[in-house]
Amino acid sequence: MSQQAPAEPFGRLTPQAVNERITSGELKIVDVREPWEYARDHIPAATLTPLGQIIARPQETITADNVVFVCEVGQRSAVAAELAAAAGMQHVFNLEGGMQAWRNAGLPVES
């Protein structure tokens, strides 16, 4: 008998889907990378909140719904999205493939 893995408590969005939702004002972007990574490049209008801060103080750092979490490849942001869902947020997303996928899609970055 096989067991089905429980569904993730957050959504996954492609870079194109995130860009569309940013343009329409639907989502807030939270970059969970380290400050040096954020300084190198980030999605315009992204807010920096390193994953370590989210883990250490989830009640203080997870304050909004309709958020997409971003990291370099999508692993740290998945952890942040899971923590946000556990904190009761209903509309949280992970940028699939992270900043690498965002850059590869030719979408805008700031530094």
One pLDDT digit (tens) per residue for the chain, 111 residues? 445 446 889 999 999 999 999 988 889 999 999 999 999 999 999 999 999 999 999 889 998 889 999 999 999 999 999 999 999 999 999 999 999 999 999 999 999
What is the pairing mode between strands 28-31 and 47-48?
Answer: parallel
Which pLDDT value is given to residue 76? 97
d(CA 69, CA 59): 16
Task: Compute CA 42 distance to the chain's CA centroid, rounded to the nearest angstrom.
Answer: 12
- 55 within domain boundaries: yes
| Catalytically annotated residues | 71
The domain in which residue 92 lies consists of 15-104
**CATH number for 20:** 3.40.250.10
CA pair distance 48, 58, nearest whole angstrom? 14
Q: Is residue 82 part of a domain?
A: yes
| Residue 6 confidence (pLDDT) | 61
Q: What is the pLDDT of residue 2?
A: 42
The count of structural domains within the chain is 1
- The reply to whether 3 falls in a domain is no
CA distance 37 to 17: 23
pTM, rounded to two decimals: 0.91
